[in-house]
């Protein structure tokens, strides 16, 4: 497995990472814990050293899964997790209460993630989504404090625009920017990727296989149950799936 250093940082990870959300969240019901543990172990055996999770996945279940499964590989793998959703309130749907990147919430989220992941420091901490109610400078400043305290090693953003990237980077240098990027979503090429190259920030694409569509295993007759978030996405309506089969044929 090839390795990459994210941007100008010293964080070296496998060129291919494993996004773990679907093991516990969003792609149907949570999967069997033993099967997912075996999958994670197999990934490490095959050279994967970069794993992605978030407190909202479950919520909390995905971090707990990784914390247990990857304990034997401490020091050999890097785990990225995320904060930024309000997980309080009576609505059990993860993130239903909206965004929350207030400094006190970030610190609380980090303490929870450290316990669930069973680590002393988070390798890479992303803001999951930009919170319009909290200046990004306050977010970056809070993460900077957590880095100085030894609880976080690297800072990243997810789905942030170039102005936000620049403002955050000026307070606490960013190691990585995460964004959806694939053959059917190439918008980051317009402004985001050039900005990252300029500033020396790593780029971590998610859904490189188009949430499964680009595998060619999803046709126009595919049905998604209510526990699968693709059931709510315009790109996964029968009409869109039918129209986009042309892309699959081109790739084939």
Condensed to tens digits (0 to 9), the pLDDT of residues 140-186 reads 999 999 999 999 999 999 999 999 999 999 999 999 999 999 999 99
* DSSP sequence for 20-71: -HHHHSSBSSPPPHHHHHHHHHHHHHTT--EEE--TTTTTTHHHHHHHHHTG
Question: What's the fold here for domain 3-208?
Answer: TIM Barrel (3.20.20)
Name the pTM for this structure.
0.96
Condensed to tens digits (0 to 9), the pLDDT of residues 89-106 reads 777 677 788 999 999 999
Q: How far apart are CA 201 and CA 191, in angstroms?
A: 13
Contact (Cβ atoms closer than 8 angstroms) between residue 17 and residue 159: no
Q: Across the 252 residues of the chain, what is the mean pLDDT of every consecutive 10-residue run?
A: 97 98 93 98 99 96 98 98 91 80 98 99 99 99 99 99 99 99 96 99 98 94 92 94 93 86
SS3 228: strand
Domain spans, the chain:
3-208, 210-252
Q: Which of 156, 161, 155 is nearest to 192 (CA)?
A: 161
Contact (Cβ atoms closer than 8 angstroms) between residue 188 and residue 176: no
Burial, 16: exposed, middle or buried (Cβ in 10 Å; 0-12, 13-18, 19+)? Answer: middle
Indicate which residues carry an active-site annotation: 57
Structure tokens at 197: 């190259």
Structure tokens at 89: 């309130």
Please state, in angstroms and as integers, the Cα–Cα distance from residue 30 to each residue in 83, 113, 151, following that order.
21, 19, 29
């Amino acid at each position: 497995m090839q390795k990459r250093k994210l941007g100008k940082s010293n964080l070296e990870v496998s060129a291919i990472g494993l996004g773990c959300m679907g093991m516990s969240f969003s792609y149907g019901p949570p999967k069997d814990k033993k099967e997912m543990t075996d999958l994670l172990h197999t990934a490490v055996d095959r050279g994967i050293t970069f794993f992605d999770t978030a407190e909202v996945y479950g919520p909390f279940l995905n971090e707990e899964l990784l914390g247990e499964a990857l304990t034997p590989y401490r020091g050999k793998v890097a785990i990225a997790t995320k904060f930024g959703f309000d997980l309080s309130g009576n609505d059990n749907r993860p993130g239903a209460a909206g965004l929350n990147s207030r400094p006190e919430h970030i610190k609380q989220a980090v303490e929870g993630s450290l316990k669930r992941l069973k680590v002393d420091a988070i390798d890479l901490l992303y803001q999951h989504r930009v919170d319009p109610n909290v200046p990004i400078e306050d977010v970056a400043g809070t993460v900077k404090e957590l880095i100085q305290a030894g609880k976080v090693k690297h800072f990243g953003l997810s789905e942030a625009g170039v102005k936000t990237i620049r403002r955050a980077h000026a307070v606490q240098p960013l190691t990585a920017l995460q964004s959806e990027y694939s053959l059917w979503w190439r918008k980051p090429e317009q402004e985001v990727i050039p900005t990252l190259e300029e500033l020396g920030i790593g780029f971590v694409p998610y859904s490189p296989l188009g949430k499964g569509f680009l595998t060619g295993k999803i046709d126009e007759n595919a049905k998604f149950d209510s526990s699968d978030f693709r059931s709510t996405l315009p790109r996964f309506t029968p009409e869109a799936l039918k129209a986009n089969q042309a892309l699959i044929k081109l790739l084939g």
